[in-house]
Amino acid sequence: MKDKAPTVRHLFRNFWRIAKPYWVSEDKFYAWGLLALVIALSLGLVFMSVQFNSWNREFYNTLQNVDAVAFKAALIKFAYLAFAYIVIAVHAIWFQQMLEIRWRKWATLHYTQKWLNENNFYRLQLTDKDTDNPDQRIAEDVGQFVSISLSLSLGLLRSVVTLVSFIGILWVLSGPLTFMLGGREVSIPGYMVWVAIIYALIGTGITILLGRPLVGLNFMQQRYEADFRFGLVRVRENAESIAIYDGAKDEQERLGYRFVNVVSNFWSLMRMNKRLTWFTSFWGQLAIIFPLIVAAPRFFSKEIQLGDLMQINSAFGQVYGALDFIIGSFSTLANWKAVIDRLTTFENSINKANALPRISPKPIAQGLQVANLSVSKPNGDPLLDRLNFSLKAGDSLLIRGQSGSGKSTLLRALAGIWPYAQGEYSVQSNTKSLFLSQKPYMPLGSLRAALYYPNVAEQDDTQIAGLLALAGLSHLMPRLDETDAWSHVLSLGEQQRIALLRAILVKPDFLLMDESTSALDADGEARLYRAVAETMKDGVMISVGHRAGLVEYHAQVLECQGQGKWALSS
């Protein structure tokens, strides 16, 4: 199933929905100030274009009149105009890029926060598996949205102001077109203006007709590119497992299949762009000579001078260029719409994930109490029905059962990230919880930071050395402050031992462990479990595990029997 792109009818509504948060944010005064400055500089560029248009008439008239003195004066005037234009153009680009990077920084942080807030990044996988590659939408689509939005909106502004500025000049310069029709004299005032409008309208209509497929193709190209990149990242992150399975050939086939989509869609983009470029190039080249052809009869009849002809040509080019905005920007517009569509569907998916129910724990004096808690799969199939148990400070609970009976899902519900649960549970106020999964999370950074995650790392090397020795990891002590990809450097057993040491260092009030010793030998498991249990003697420890030896470290055992059934024993 593919993302459904919003229709053109909703384009500008979706654009403002995405753009508005920044323009009303805490950075709004800086943003509006920069925008006003950029607009002023853009208007300055249009003003300079008007001055150059007037200079065209003066310069070419000096050539026609063979006036050397006036020719030199015109060159000096051009130097002044060119210098002023360069200064304005450089600063217009500078301040536009300054606004762009501030907007992108704010928008990237905004979307990252929405994605991470309340574990939406996890819940998104439960509600909408078809919203592909959130990382690409935040890292690339946001940047493209800001860049293209600014360039298109400022380009449109310049086009409108240019049109208003030059349409009067062209109207006066072109004069009336008089001809006989049906025995009557017909006069069309400012006929070159009407010629420019008709010429631009014809070009715009044909461009839209030819370029319409580009919108959908750009949308899919971004998706296929992100899918391929995600596949490459997956190979890098799971290099050891793939190598052990000798799965390189299979991965190559999978990556090849994803890249085929990239290439195939790109060929379609090439064909559409080629067809569109044939027309836009022809229409643009014709626009260079077309006004000269139309205005030439008045020049040859000596109604206007060479300077007037060149000024008409320049003014026609400016008017047509302003009206030509859609033709010249259609590929960019198609890409812009694809970016807006992807950000809109991403935001909708986040809102959908955020709307899932959450069980808010009630505060109690101490420990943990679960009352009539029912946990189900996303499709509604029951895992645990009306579960009840109570744990006070110093208590521990072992959860056992067959695969798929709801053991890990219960831990997710108690951790507050599983939305498909109903009932009540109460926990001690102002407590600190730690969740250890079967595949521990090893953050980017130093080994010291991994040991204390998610807390700030401490510099107690004596304690760390003792714990590493307890876990049989003393060889890692010299690398304590070394930054590396620890999830690849360390084996699964070593990572699980690091995670268990993390529980000892962090000293949580509630410790939830999901088969977090599955890769350890019996002796190593017993040694570390005793240390963890000692650390948690004033807290609550809940473990999921299959080994019979774990029972001695827990006061109660919860058997998950499947289809909602359960049994609790001491």
- pLDDT tens readout for residues 244-280: 767 888 888 888 888 999 999 999 989 888 888 888 8
pLDDT of residue 471: 92
Radius of gyration of the chain (CA): 35
- pLDDT tens readout for residues 314-339: 777 777 777 777 666 767 887 888 88
Residue type, 65: N
Mean pLDDT for 369-390 is 89
Q: Mean pLDDT lowest for which of 100-109, 300-309, 509-518? A: 300-309
Kindly state the percentage of the chain with pLDDT values over 70: 95
Q: Three-class SS of residue 189?
A: coil
Alpha-carbon distance of 176 to 196, in angstroms, equals 14
pLDDT of residue 317: 76
pLDDT of residue 227: 84
Does pLDDT of 212 surpass 50?
Answer: yes
pLDDT band of residue 240 (cuts 50, 70, 90) is low
Which residues have C-beta within 8 Å of that of residue 193, sequence separation ≥ 6? 167, 170, 171, 174, 319
- pLDDT tens readout for residues 515-557: 888 888 888 888 998 899 889 888 899 999 888 888 888 889 9
pLDDT band of residue 413 (cuts 50, 70, 90) is confident
Mean pLDDT for 160-179 is 77
pLDDT band of residue 97 (cuts 50, 70, 90) is very high
pLDDT of residue 495: 92
Q: Which domains does the chain have, with CATH numbers?
A: 8-354 (1.20.1560.10), 362-569 (3.40.50.300)
pLDDT band of residue 353 (cuts 50, 70, 90) is confident
Of 511, 508, 542, which Cα lies nearest the Cα of 389? 542
Which long-range contacts link 166-170 to residues 24+ away (Cβ below 8 Å)?
166/49, 166/50, 166/53, 166/315, 166/318, 166/319, 166/322, 167/193, 167/319, 169/50, 169/53, 169/311, 169/315, 170/196, 170/312, 170/315, 170/316, 170/319
Does pLDDT of 491 surpass 60?
Answer: yes
Decide the pairing of beta strands 368-376 and 483-484. Answer: unpaired
pLDDT of residue 131: 67
Q: Mean pLDDT lowest for which of 204-218, 431-445, 451-465? A: 204-218
Does pLDDT of 99 surpass 90?
Answer: yes
Mean pLDDT for 123-144 is 79
Mean pLDDT for 454-483 is 91
Tokens of 195: 């010629």
Q: Three-class SS of residue 423?
A: strand
pLDDT of residue 479: 92
Mean pLDDT for 378-387 is 88
Alpha-carbon distance of 261 to 223, in angstroms, equals 10
Decide the pairing of beta strands 421-428 and 362-364. Answer: parallel
